[in-house]
Structure 1
Amino acid sequence: MGEIVERDNDMDFGRFGLKVPTIRPKIPFGSQTIAGVLDHALQDRPDHEALVDRNGRYTYAELEETVNAACRALTGFGVRAGDRIAATSSNSADLIIAFLASQRLGAVWVGMNRVLAPREKLYLLQDCEASLLLIDEESLSGLVPSLKDSDFKPRIVLLNGGSTEDEWREAVREASGAPRPDVQIDPHAPALISYTSGTTGQPKGAVHSQHNVAVVAAAWVSRQDWDVGLRRGCAQAFTINNIMIRAGVLALAGGGTLVCMDRTDPEGVADWVENESIEVLFAVPTMLHDLLMDPRVKDRRLASLVRPLSGGASLPDNVRRAFKDRFGSEIQFVYGLTEAPTSVSQTDPEEPFVPGSSGRALPHLEIGILDQDQNPVPTGGEGEVAIRATQTGPWAGVYTPLLGYWRRPDATAQVLKRGWLLTGDVGRLDDDGRLYILDRRNDVIIRGGANIYPAELERALEEHPDVAAVAVVGLPNERLGQVVAAVLQATGEDLDLPALDAWLKTQLAAYKTPKYYYLTEKMPRNAMNKIVKPTLRDKISSGELRLAHESSRRKIAGEQASG
């Protein structure tokens, strides 16, 4: 019998706008909780390497012992079940260990991307009422002035990822030998708060249970033909909860090795892949693009790579083809969202690639394309992408959606309707069940009655060699309602906009192409590396971004609108 840690049974999550589900399905195989995610590998292969970072290596047996010590350390810092633990630090084994310990105690983990500005971090801390903040020295130095000016004072514990001795490591070391805490975990109680990236306003905290997260890991493992010994590397920030789920929880649930990569530059990523023989790489499109383009990254350095995974933004098809031709590995695309949580669909690397496809739904999910009344549209029709639990097979009814947005029941009601989780994305399904994402619902430009999807234009423009980055937005127009504007970041100094405009009209219908072109040296991006379009609109309206080219357009027969 391990030590007993008192649960806070008086925690009323109703006051935070949440409702713990009354239907409590079980996962058909694997752990029912994150708290038990190590158990299978611990029994079958305790001496297999589980976790690697720059400062150390852990077998599953060693990781189990360290997580138990971390539970004792967190308890010593005053953490109880239901408390929110916020964390912002570079990738390290310590971060994974702290996360696993938080789940064994029934606490609520709140990851904060360390690239957020101090005021943004303070907002998240105050919004979730974090009782403990695990933070590295660099992030803390920037946050101190904001904390001094605030009445909110969480307990702060330095966690530097092993680069230097810190309070976290000292507490874990002192707790060495602690037994596993005897905490009764409710799989369907709040366990993580994942804040949205905030491209359209203040971030909202999507609240997930351990069941929500464990089912994603189980579904991935069931769908993939992955050997348990695979070495999976992740350079994306673990403090983004979707990344923690997709990389950390998934790797450990599959019984493989997780390599905590602490560099995102091409040479640094290549070093990690080469030195640790990484076979599966969790990456964003920008990272894969840079690996391809950096002359220092020789082909042999990525020789171990079997399956690069890409998600979070689009990747031009010419980059995908070039990556496969050069490095020999087919990029696997994943579609997901914070509210799901994380993965919804994925492409199958064993099948021929279908351009534009985000693959098929994971086995626990059903994807629907709905009209504005949440009714399904015919196959091939466009509508809002929605998800719910699959209705058939061993996974029937297993999925449960997010428990709600933290303190935002109004926002929760907008995304949970008639049994569906509405994603806010516009898409379609083909006859084989493949999903195609067309755009964000709120980004659709309506020009003279015609729907124009910015993502379609962006994908086309990204194919042009002179375009490094692009964002397409709608601008108000008295006659047409809206017109299309493109903000471009060029790869070099000589971007011929008239020629680019003419080329684009050979790729897409003229009414879809931009009326106005603007140039910028750098795109405004949020912590998830997504372009913040409201900022671009503000810069256009204020005159900060000046018009670089206005397209001439003649009326084309059959066109719904022209301008």
Structure 2
Amino acid sequence: MPEPPPADLPASDLLQDVLAHAQRAPRSPALIDARGRRTDYAALAHRIRATAGGLRAHGLRPGDGVLFSIRPGPDALVVALAVVAAGGTVVFADPGVGAELFTRRAELAGARWAAAESLLYAAAGLRPARRWARRRGLLLPDYAALGVRHLRAGPWLPGVPRGALSARRLTGPPLDPAPDPDAPAVVIFTSGTTDRPRGVVHTLRTLSAGLGLLQQRCALGPGDVVHTDQLMLGLPALAGGACWSLPGTPLDPARYARGLVERRATHAFLVPADAARVLDVAPRWPGVRGVLLGAAPVVPALLRRVRAAAPGADVLCIYGMTEAPPIAIATAEEKLAHTGPGDLMGTPAAGVRVGAVDDELVVEGPQVCPRYLGGPAHDRVRTGDLGRVDDAGRVLLLGRRKDMIIRGEHNIYPGLHEPRIAALPGVVDALLVGLPDARTGDEEVVLAVVLEPGAALDGVRAALGAVVPGSAFPDRVVAIDEVPRAGRTHKPDREALRKVVRCASR
């Protein structure tokens, strides 16, 4: 079992760190948005305080949940930090999971507010827009029907509810934030079925601790420019007084590469699959002296390409989970030198304790979420990963206990989608599996279906858009004679299925 973390770790407060830097260096650059527009720390701090005051003036109470569906950008950052400053809870709500699961998550969170982009209101609420979205695999929820107070980001569009507040125009008496550090600050849904969604609850204290560990390890500070669309490194950059450069979403490899050069980025953070795409168009990253890779396995071939692109850069691989970001950190050199069994995850972050129970990694530390939504308090979490800690104190990953598939930024849970696919006309059974790509570390999502006699695979492909959201849409669909099964309970044997699918692709 993990040992208790030391009690003398320095306390941090992400929100106060950002506001304090605005006092020390008000005209230093804080943000560069996707269009190249710059915001200094004084302007950012003023917007956060004024928006928090506006939320309070319009009725947001401490403890209120705010469903949050705004892409990374200045408005998203301001609204999220203002909600926390006002004592509310940011409930990250991905509309791409499908309407049913989204609605169930919203009910579980008990949110009284929703903050979403105008385009989402229009796309979900207008019939022609809904048809357009469905054809692209987007099963969007009807935001306007949620029965909450609405805050829109972007211009007014048809479908936006009457009375929705504008994120840009919302203002009130500037609020000097003093939220309870141990009250829920964010809720992030990670897995679970429609009936039992799982929401990770972080307080301002645990969130600040985790992001503070990254800021300290990367030594982010004034003068640094961090190029990423990921909150995981953007927020630590701001807490350290650095500049957060936003490349825009979805990630465009060529645009990302131009931003590295034009904005004189010193640090880059990418998921491995996106790093491979950027390297394909830009094999050299001049001026970059820090690269972080995380959220998916990092294979040796990709590490060698990154080191060649940014010679001399500190290349770090982050192992973590939503419940405990980060857990361990490994340098590129450490990972490439590892010749033993398993995948080297590196040394636990400061104050983090990692152990194994029944071969499953268990984590305890200042950044561990205190509970799941609707669940009891805990002081450690099980990772779902098989592994051990070696004699040198390094974490080794030996496999994943979960069936989760990782593709790009998305965690795909087969159990959420397989029953609906199996219910399609002509389908007897269906399983989703991931096939690792040795070049990028990403996974190809393959749907294997057993068809009824006379049923056509093309018909199944055509029907998938109505039951599978775009974030989980399979890269490939194959027909198999039967699902491999194993054990006394005859459960599906996914590893055997992967072998069948590999053979079918040859």
What TM-score comes out, normalization by structure 1 length?
Answer: 0.64
Structure 2 counterpart of 1:52? 32
Matches within 5 A, 1:145-156: 152-156=146-150
Residue identity matched to 1:385: L
Shift of 1:257: 0.8
Structure 2 CA distance for aligned equivalents of residues 83 and 290 of structure 1: 40
Shift of 1:201: 8.0
Shift in CA distance, 303/190, structure 1 to aligned 2, threshold 3 Å: same
Residue identity matched to 2:437: E
What TM-score comes out, normalization by structure 2 length?
Answer: 0.71
Structure 2 CA distance for aligned equivalents of residues 202 and 532 of structure 1: 24
Is the CA contact 1:316–1:459 (under 8 Å) kept in the aligned structure 2?
A: no
Superimposed CA distance per residue, residues 410-449 of structure 1 (whole angstroms, 9 cap, x where no aligned partner)? xx7xxx4xx53211111122222221222222459xxxxx
Pick one of 343, 347, 356 that aligns with 2:330.
Answer: 347
Structure 2 counterpart of 1:9? none
Q: Which structure shows the bigger proportion of residues in strand conformation? A: 2
Structure 1 counterpart of 2:65? 84
**SS of the counterpart of 1:360?**
strand
Shift in CA distance, 43/198, structure 1 to aligned 2, threshold 3 Å: same
Is the CA contact 1:334–1:358 (under 8 Å) kept in the aligned structure 2?
A: yes
Structure 2 counterpart of 1:405? 372
Structure 2 counterpart of 1:422? 382
Structure 2 CA distance for aligned equivalents of residues 119 and 50 of structure 1: 38
Superimposed CA distance per residue, residues 334-387 of structure 1 (whole angstroms, 9 cap, x where no aligned partner)? 1111112x211111367674443111111021111223xxxxxxxxxxx11111
Is the CA contact 2:203–2:369 (under 8 Å) kept in the aligned structure 1?
A: yes
**SS of the counterpart of 1:436?**
strand
Pick one of 258, 264, 270 that aligns with 1:271.
Answer: 258
Structure 1 counterpart of 2:417? none
Pick one of 175, 178, 185 that aligns with 1:191.
Answer: 185
Structure 2 counterpart of 1:36? 16
Is the CA contact 1:71–1:105 (under 8 Å) kept in the aligned structure 2?
A: yes
Shift of 1:26: 8.0
Is the CA contact 1:132–1:157 (under 8 Å) kept in the aligned structure 2?
A: yes
Shift in CA distance, 325/34, structure 1 to aligned 2, threshold 3 Å: closer
Structure 2 CA distance for aligned equivalents of residues 317 and 527 of structure 1: 32
Shift in CA distance, 549/400, structure 1 to aligned 2, threshold 3 Å: closer
Structure 2 counterpart of 1:362? 349
Matches within 5 A, 1:496-507: none
Residue identity matched to 1:51: L
Shift of 1:114: 4.9
Structure 1 counterpart of 2:174? 179
Structure 2 CA distance for aligned equivalents of residues 256 and 271 of structure 1: 20
Residue identity matched to 1:339: E
Residue identity matched to 2:179: I
Structure 2 counterpart of 1:137? 118
**SS of the counterpart of 2:181?**
coil
Pick one of 462, 469, 474 that aligns with 2:437.
Answer: 462
**SS of the counterpart of 2:197?**
coil
Structure 2 counterpart of 1:121? 102
Structure 2 counterpart of 1:250? 236
Structure 2 counterpart of 1:385? 361
Shift in CA distance, 122/471, structure 1 to aligned 2, threshold 3 Å: closer
Structure 1 CA distance for aligned equivalents of residues 180 and 321 of structure 2: 24
Is the CA contact 1:90–1:114 (under 8 Å) kept in the aligned structure 2?
A: no
Structure 2 residues without counterparts, runs of 5 or longer: 127-139, 405-432, 450-463, 485-491
1:73 aligns with 2:54: yes
Structure 2 CA distance for aligned equivalents of residues 161 and 232 of structure 1: 28
Structure 1 CA distance for aligned equivalents of residues 49 and 116 of structure 2: 20
Shift in CA distance, 545/426, structure 1 to aligned 2, threshold 3 Å: closer
Superimposed CA distance per residue, residues 314-339 of structure 1 (whole angstroms, 9 cap, x where no aligned partner)? 13211221232244346421111111
**SS of the counterpart of 1:369?**
strand
Structure 2 CA distance for aligned equivalents of residues 384 and 526 of structure 1: 31
Is the CA contact 1:92–1:161 (under 8 Å) kept in the aligned structure 2?
A: no
Pick one of 205, 221, 227 that aligns with 2:199.
Answer: 205
Residue identity matched to 2:123: G
Residue identity matched to 1:439: G
Shift of 1:43: 3.5
Q: CA RMSD in A?
A: 4.3
Matches within 5 A, 1:462-541: 462-463=437-438, 469-470=443-444, 541=483
Shift in CA distance, 121/161, structure 1 to aligned 2, threshold 3 Å: farther
Is the CA contact 1:37–1:249 (under 8 Å) kept in the aligned structure 2?
A: no
Superimposed CA distance per residue, residues 467-490 of structure 1 (whole angstroms, 9 cap, x where no aligned partner)? 984579999xxxxxxxxxxxxxxx
Is the CA contact 1:197–1:528 (under 8 Å) kept in the aligned structure 2?
A: no
Is the CA contact 1:316–1:462 (under 8 Å) kept in the aligned structure 2?
A: no
Residue identity matched to 1:316: V
Identity score, percent: 21
Structure 1 residues without counterparts, runs of 5 or longer: 1-22, 237-243, 372-382, 390-398, 445-457, 476-521, 552-563
Structure 2 counterpart of 1:109? 90
Is the CA contact 2:218–2:290 (under 8 Å) kept in the aligned structure 1?
A: no
Structure 1 counterpart of 2:293? 310
Structure 1 CA distance for aligned equivalents of residues 315 and 189 of structure 2: 27
Is the CA contact 1:92–1:162 (under 8 Å) kept in the aligned structure 2?
A: no
Residue identity matched to 2:14: I
Matches within 5 A, 1:331-342: 331-340=315-324, 342=325
**SS of the counterpart of 1:347?**
strand
Structure 2 CA distance for aligned equivalents of residues 303 and 116 of structure 1: 38
Shift in CA distance, 123/84, structure 1 to aligned 2, threshold 3 Å: same
Structure 2 CA distance for aligned equivalents of residues 53 and 540 of structure 1: 50
